[in-house]
Amino acid sequence: MSEELLMKYIIGIVVTPLFLYYWFLRKSRRPSNYLFLAHVYDMVWLRKKAIATLETALHTRTVSDKERADLLVRIGMYHLDLKDNSTAVDYFDQFVEAAMEVQFYYDSKFLRIVEAYQAVGQQERAVAVYRQLLARASFDPDFRKLKRLEGKLGIQSTL
User: Is the pLDDT at 80 greater than 90, yes or no?
Assistant: yes
* pTM (2 d.p.): 0.76
Look at residue 44 in the predicted model and tell me its pLDDT.
78
Alpha carbon distances (Å) from 146 to 54, 65, 101, 115, 157: 27, 24, 21, 11, 12
Look at residue 89 in the predicted model and tell me its pLDDT.
94
DSSP-derived secondary structure letter, 83 = T
Asked whether the beta carbons of 98 and 135 are under 8 A apart, the reply is no
φ/ψ (deg, to 5) at 113: -65, -50
Look at residue 24 in the predicted model and tell me its pLDDT.
57
User: Domains in the chain, please, with CATH?
Assistant: 1-63 (no CATH), 65-153 (1.25.40.10)
Residues 6+ apart with CB under 8 A from 69: 95, 98, 99, 102, 104
pLDDT, one tens digit per residue, over 25-58 is: 555 566 677 888 788 888 878 889 989 988 988 8
Mean pLDDT value across the chain: 84
Helices (H), 21-154: 31-43, 47-58, 65-81, 85-99, 109-119, 123-134, 150-153
User: Is the pLDDT at 9 greater than 70, yes or no?
Assistant: yes
Q: Which of 79, 87, 95, 83 is nearest to 38 (CA)?
A: 79
